[in-house]
Structure 1
Amino acid sequence: MTSLLTGATGYLGSAVLDRLVASGYDVVAVVRSPGSAERVTARGARALVGDLTDVAWLTAALADADGAIHLAAPSDGAAALNEAVVDAAIAAYAGTGRRFVLTSGIWEFGAGDLDDDGPLDPPELVAWRVPIEQRLLASDVDAAIVAPGLVYGHGRGLISLITDAPRTESGALTLVGDGEQHWSWVHVDDLARLYELVLVSPAASSGVASGRIVAVDGAPLTVRALGEAVAGEAGVAGESADASRARLGAVFADALLLDQRASGRKARELGWIPEHPSVLEEVERQAAAA
């Protein structure tokens, strides 16, 4: 099976690339530079240098693949990029039965107990995603949208917002907000396995392999609990929401202040089971090593 992959040099994308190559897929990795082409080639992919915002070019590239996963996430221009990628996916895959997997994120569900097919209430940071995704889901493309929780593993990910948080004068670790909000997590390698599973699972009549699929380990934890595991005897110190907004930027902080508890129901119905230690175990292990 030939699979087109975007974002293959990134944190998550490199994990997905390694997973697909290890499983025997012919992976075509879209990259922007010769240097990136060398990196993905060294990992076992076929590099394709091009511009994802060029809809005609990407449509042709998608047409040569049996399926695709879109993981590229630039720091600037993400909305325009996703618009172009979805345009190309609809042009290339509508009515063909070939699978297109788009990447989203858990924040678009807003606060509360989250379900894959539940309502959306995105904060400003990710509100742009919703109309693009709705257009894809309304098309004739065999599409799935993976919405990961906070990704961790291999010493990377947003866990650094806790482990590298500033300390007070007494040494206490500063939390985001009061720390009582839950964050839902997923290990990067477990997430890579889920992407592979979603790629090869055509939409069923039950809808399990279609629509939005929340990718979490099912063990949401409070920011305070993780902070206490990092801080040890030094303890933690909460801050006001306004203080977090001033420190991190209002738009970013408002996403981090969401209280989100997710189980990842549809992923488990597909047969996916997280295998890696929880984020709390990883933090405790790091703290012990330090």
Structure 2
Amino acid sequence: MKYFLTGATGFVGSELARLLRVAGHDVNASVRSPEKAKDLQALGVKLFKGDVTDKGSMREAMTGVDGVFHVAGWYKVGARDKSQGERINVQGTRNVLELMQELKIPKGVYTSTLAVNSDTKGKIVDETYRFTGAHLSEYDRTKAAAHDLADKFIAPGLPLVIVQPGVIYGPGDTSSLRVNLVTFLKGRLPMLPSKFGVCFAHVEDIARGHILAMEKGKPGEAYIIAGEPHTMMDAFRLAGEIAGRRAPATVPYQMMKVMSFLVKPLDKLLPETYTSESLRVIAGATYWGDNGKARRELGYNPRPFREGWTETIRHEMKLLEM
């Protein structure tokens, strides 16, 4: 089979490209800088210069493929410049799905997120849950808008499957999760919020979830492919157990909420991780979802969190020569 892939240079996209090539599939990838995508080239991925914000730039790469994986997205929480969220997450998704329609692509998989629900307030929700409040971040808002847009394309018959990961970890991560993990391993992470909770899944499992959605997913359906629900504090307590480090102290939920209001006038001066938006998200929100539907219908079976987290921590400790 031949597939078109957006976001191929990203954490999930690069792993998805690798698994597709290992399985013997041809992969066309739209990348902004082909000269900086040598790892993909080495895998045998065919590179095309293009960007999701430029619909025409993707046409050649998408023409004649058997399926589309739209993985590309803008993921920033606390960023001062939020304009990219609308351009990449919403308009970029519109561009990809319009091209799918025009080129009559047989099937597509769109990467949404559990963040479309912002705060599940301690509940583990399924794909039928609909968040109705104000989103906690521009990332949450724009991904929710893109998810709604995908549903609008599905309604008249676009053969699209939606997948919803949670927080993704593993070797090669460059997100704030990895930054915090490395900081913790160095003994420089004194505290963490007490209630902030997410669903953790290894990057390889998330990539496999995408492939299962393409091969077995029903067009028009959404599948949560997130992993186990844990608080961030629990994840770092486990990290301490694995690495032989003392767990960070907890910051009470109420204190984080108050801080998110107090720092708002300073947002333009603060690092991204300390802005009002970042503090609002991590104060006590839960981004929890149930992957039961993906397990039943796709055969999705992500590794236990302890297993994958242990592998990741040992990988980071090796890089740090610990």
| Fold shared, TM-score > 0.5 on shorter chain | yes
Mapping of 1:183-262 within 5 angstroms? 183-203=198-218, 210-217=220-227, 219-231=228-240, 234-239=246-251, 240-242=255-257, 245=260, 246=263, 248-256=274-282, 257-262=284-289
Listed one character per residue, the Cα deviations across residues 162-215 of structure 1 (whole Å, up to 9, x for unaligned) are 424579xx977310x2x2333211100011111111122352xxxxx6433222
Instruction: Determine whether 1:46 maps to 2:46.
Output: yes
Q: 1:144 aligns with which of 161, 164, 172?
A: 161
TM-score, with structure 2 as normaliser? 0.75
Mapping of 1:84-123 within 5 angstroms? 84-93=92-101, 96=104, 98-109=106-117, 110-111=119-120, 112-121=123-132, 122-123=135-136
Tell me the amino acid that sits aligned with residue 103 of structure 1: T
TM-score, with structure 1 as normaliser? 0.82
| 1:52–1:166 distance in 2 versus 1, CA, 3 Å | same
Uncovered stretches (5+) of structure 2, i.e. residues with no partner: 77-82, 264-272
Is the CA contact 2:180–2:189 (under 8 Å) kept in the aligned structure 1?
A: no
Residue 153 (structure 1) shift: 0.9
Percent identity at matched positions? 22
Aligned to 2:295: 268
Is the CA contact 1:230–1:283 (under 8 Å) kept in the aligned structure 2?
A: no
Aligned to 1:30: 30
Uncovered stretches (5+) of structure 1, i.e. residues with no partner: 204-208
Listed one character per residue, the Cα deviations across residues 56-94 of structure 1 (whole Å, up to 9, x for unaligned) are 343454332111111223466132123134234234337
| 1:146–1:223 distance in 2 versus 1, CA, 3 Å | same
Between the two proteins, the alignment pairs up a number of residues equal to: 280
- Distance in 2 between residues matched to 1:160 and 1:272, nearest whole Å: 25
Secondary structure class of the residue paired with 1:113: coil
* 11-20 or 100-109, which deviates more: 100-109
The structure with the largest strand share of the pair is: 1
Tell me the amino acid that sits aligned with residue 209 of structure 2: L
Superposed CA RMSD: 3.1
